[in-house]
Amino acid sequence: MTTAKVNGVAKRPSGFQQALAAKIFHWVNIISVFAMMGSGLQIYNANPVFGGRAGLHFPSELLLGGWLGGARHWHFFFMWFFGLNLLWYGIYIFFTKRWKNRYVGSNDIKAIRESSNAKRRNYAFHRIVYTSMIPILLLALLTGLGMFKPVQFDWILGIFGSWEALRIMHFISVPIFLVLTTLHSLMALKVGEWKLVRSMFT
């Protein structure tokens, strides 16, 4: 959301406005994540982490790739889009200082503890949820790189202790991300109703 100055005084616009870079990031992120989830579930069906091939299988409607090799190709293809998207957006928010009013800060923690303003508390909770998505996205990318190139990135395997632990953490990052995304969307609706949600995609 941007502000304008009228006679030298900052005035908040009646609607929500998002930077084009933020819109591009969200669109690419959504497409990449869902493509990786579909192809990842196809890979999982070929050799599930929990219970082997006789374990839980996901329906074909949720899958992408058709078979193990095809799913791997899709998965790694979108992994590069996902990783590069995170990288350039991280550089963007650093140099534009967008992180100052989009991510959680000490004032948000203080507002949750002390503020009686419900709207201010909602904004604080929203920033906390939004910020919490960053380490989960990085966890998914880190564990994915470790599985993609276990020899080149053997230090990633060393962090998690074993190949199986690496795979499990990679798999677990998906439902955590979906829960946080749901909370992020609900809090966005609570803070700015549909106007805020629409502003990110239109």
pLDDT in tens, 36-70: 999 988 888 887 666 656 677 888 888 998 888 89
9 in any annotated domain: no
- Residue 105: domain span: 21-199
126 in any annotated domain: yes
The two tokens of residue 189 are 């609706």
Residue 152 backbone dihedrals phi, psi, to 5 degrees:
-65, -35
Give the start-end residues of each E strand in the chain: 4-6, 9-11
How many domains is the chain partitioned into structurally? 1
Residues in the chain: 202
- 87-145 pLDDT, tens digit per residue, is 988 898 888 887 777 788 778 888 888 887 878 888 888 888 888 888 998 999 999 88
40 Cβ contact partners less than 8 Å away, ≥ 6 residues apart:
71, 75, 171, 174
pLDDT for position 27: 87
Q: Is residue 6 exposed (0-12), middle (13-18) or buried (19+ Cβ within 10 Å)?
A: exposed
Mean pLDDT, residues 144-156: 88
CATH of the domain at 149: 1.20.950.20
Q: Is the pLDDT of residue 35 over 90?
A: yes
131 in any annotated domain: yes
Identify residue 162 by its one-letter amino acid code. S
Identify residue 102 by its one-letter amino acid code. R
2 in any annotated domain: no
Name the nearest CA neighbour of 84 among 158, 137, 43: 137
Task: Give alpha helix (H) positions in the chain.
Answer: 20-46, 68-96, 99-102, 106-114, 118-148, 154-160, 163-199
Q: Is residue 82 exposed (0-12), middle (13-18) or buried (19+ Cβ within 10 Å)?
A: buried
- 65-80 pLDDT, tens digit per residue, is 888 889 999 999 999 9
SS3 66: coil
pLDDT for position 32: 92
